[in-house]
């Protein structure tokens, strides 16, 4: 539909207008949104772009949205819709998310939104959220991370949040308390966890992935393998019963997050043992058994030397200081 070079212009002129007040917003419930996703674009290769959006109601007014990137959580509050994460940077994906919400009778335009981290499968739709007039909350290290970000899954860098916080940010739309927490480096240096204490539901972002996925962006995202474990411990201090993972098809119970934490600790223990036994960085994953842990260590974070080398250095440092 549009040439790749015209994306920024197209987003402003066609995509955002279509989403905020144009034809897509006016469509009756049940019609397919315009502007089909173009899977031939290079930034859609190897991403979950091709998976359609599915809505799962996990609790009254709490809707998890899978597909077209990372998971989003849409929450209907007395004051309006609150959105956690905005998926890939496709106007059609954002329209598809709105369509899914209209089909369950939910409002489709966020008044307030959160971005759990800067990767474009979670933050790609930030521009659409802002164009809808929502306040977009993110951790204060996210704007600089986005500034130096070079995503292969977005045509331009996602928009930064327009409200930033450091450790804790509280909103109460319509009287519903929402806490945004940041505890330190994990999946990235700017991870945000969004907690709904009255409903005991948490959106865990990149700290907890489903479907056996786990990823640590140490280089560009300034995350940390050992930080991931510490952050999951921080997460478990919140009194939640249900966690919405950053990826994966299903929510996790608290017991499943505890199990995820134990498996992550065991993975790190095995990686440390392999380093002590003399494995080098390129051979590290071959030296470690992971299939019984339920993790699939795949994707560029686990294959490219620029990501694996710093993970290896973290492990070497840990084995040197904790023999």
Taking CA atoms, 3 is separated from 65, 96, 97, 106, 153, in Å, by 29, 22, 24, 34, 16
Pick 63 or 119: Cβ nearer Zn ion: 119
CB of 239 to Zn ion, least distance (A): 25
CB of 117 to Zn ion, least distance (A): 5
Pick 98 or 122: Cβ nearer Zn ion: 122
Pick 24 or 252: Cβ nearer Zn ion: 252
Q: Which residues pair with 113 in a beta bridge?
A: 83, 136
The answer to whether 231 contacts Zn ion (rule: CB under 5 A) is no
| 248: Cβ contacts below 8 Å, ≥ 6 apart | 66, 71, 209, 210, 211, 213
The answer to whether 87 contacts Zn ion (rule: CB under 5 A) is no
- Among 160, 162, 105, smallest CA distance to 133 is for 162
Pick 123 or 290: Cβ nearer Zn ion: 123
CB of 103 to Zn ion, least distance (A): 28
CB of 187 to Zn ion, least distance (A): 6
For residue 290, the number of C-alpha atoms closer than 13 Å in the C-beta half-sphere is 20
- Interacting positions 155-194 with Zn ion (CB under 5 A): none
Total of chain residues touching Zn ion, rule CB under 5 A: 2
Stretch that binds Zn ion, among 54-62, 97-105, 200-208, 280-288 (CB under 5 A): 200-208
Q: Phi first, then psi: what are they for 156, rounded to 5°?
A: -140, 165
State the Cα torsion 219-221-222-223 to the nearest 10°. -110
Q: Which two tokens stand for residue 290?
A: 């992971």
Pick 171 or 217: Cβ nearer Zn ion: 217
- Binding track, positions 90-119, relative to Zn ion; x by CB under 5 A: -----------------------------x
The answer to whether 206 contacts Zn ion (rule: CB under 5 A) is yes
Pick 98 or 119: Cβ nearer Zn ion: 119
Pick 19 or 153: Cβ nearer Zn ion: 153
Q: Which residues pair with 193 in a beta bridge?
A: 181
Whole-angstrom distance between the N-terminal and C-terminal Cα of the chain? 58
- 3-state secondary structure (DSSP) of residue 208: coil
CB of 12 to Zn ion, least distance (A): 26
CB 164 within 8 A of CB 143: yes
CB of 120 to Zn ion, least distance (A): 9
Taking CA atoms, 139 is separated from 71, 203, 259, in Å, by 18, 15, 27
- Binding track, positions 112-151, relative to Zn ion; x by CB under 5 A: -------x--------------------------------
CB of 206 to Zn ion, least distance (A): 4
Pick 206 or 310: Cβ nearer Zn ion: 206
CB of 286 to Zn ion, least distance (A): 25
Q: Which two tokens stand for residue 227?
A: 């930080």
Residue nearest Zn ion by beta-carbon distance: 119
- DSSP characters for 31-89? SPPSS---TTSGGGTTSGGGSPPEEEEEETTEEEEESSSS-EEEEEETTEEEEE---SS
Residues at the contact surface with Zn ion, assessed by CB under 5 A: 119, 206
């Amino acid at each position: 539909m549009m040439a790749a070079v015209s994306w920024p212009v197209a987003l402003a002129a066609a995509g955002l207008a279509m989403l905020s007040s144009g034809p897509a917003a006016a469509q009756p419930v049940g019609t397919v949104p315009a502007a089909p996703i173009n899977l031939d674009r290079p930034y859609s290769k190897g991403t979950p772009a091709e998976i359609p959006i599915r809505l799962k109601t996990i609790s009254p007014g709490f809707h998890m949205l899978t597909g077209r990137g990372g998971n989003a959580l849409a929450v209907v509050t007395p004051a309006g819709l609150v959105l956690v994460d905005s998926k890939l940077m496709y106007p059609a994906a954002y329209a598809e998310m709105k369509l899914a919400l209209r089909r369950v009778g939910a409002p489709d335009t966020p008044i307030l939104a959160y971005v759990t981290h800067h990767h474009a499968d979670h933050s790609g739709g930030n521009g659409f959220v802002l164009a809808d007039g929502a306040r977009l909350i993110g951790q204060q290290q996210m704007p600089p991370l986005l500034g130096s970000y070079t995503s292969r899954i977005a045509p331009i860098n996602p928009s930064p949040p327009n409200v930033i916080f450091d450790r804790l940010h509280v909103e109460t739309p319509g009287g519903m308390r929402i806490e945004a927490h940041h505890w330190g480096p994990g999946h990235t240096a700017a991870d945000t966890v969004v907690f709904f204490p009255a409903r005991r539901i948490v959106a865990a972002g990149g700290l907890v992935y489903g479907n056996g996925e786990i990823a640590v962006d140490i280089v560009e995202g300034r995350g940390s393998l050992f930080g991931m474990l510490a952050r999951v411990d921080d997460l478990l201090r919140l009194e939640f019963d249900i966690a919405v993972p950053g990826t994966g098809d299903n929510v996790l119970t608290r017991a499943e997050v505890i199990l995820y934490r134990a498996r992550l600790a065991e993975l790190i223990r095995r990686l440390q043992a392999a380093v002590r036994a003399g494995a080098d960085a390129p051979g590290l994953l071959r030296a470690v058994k992971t299939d019984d842990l339920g993790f699939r260590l795949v994707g560029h974070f686990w294959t490219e030397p620029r990501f694996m080398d710093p993970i290896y250095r973290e492990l070497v440092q840990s084995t040197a200081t904790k023999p």
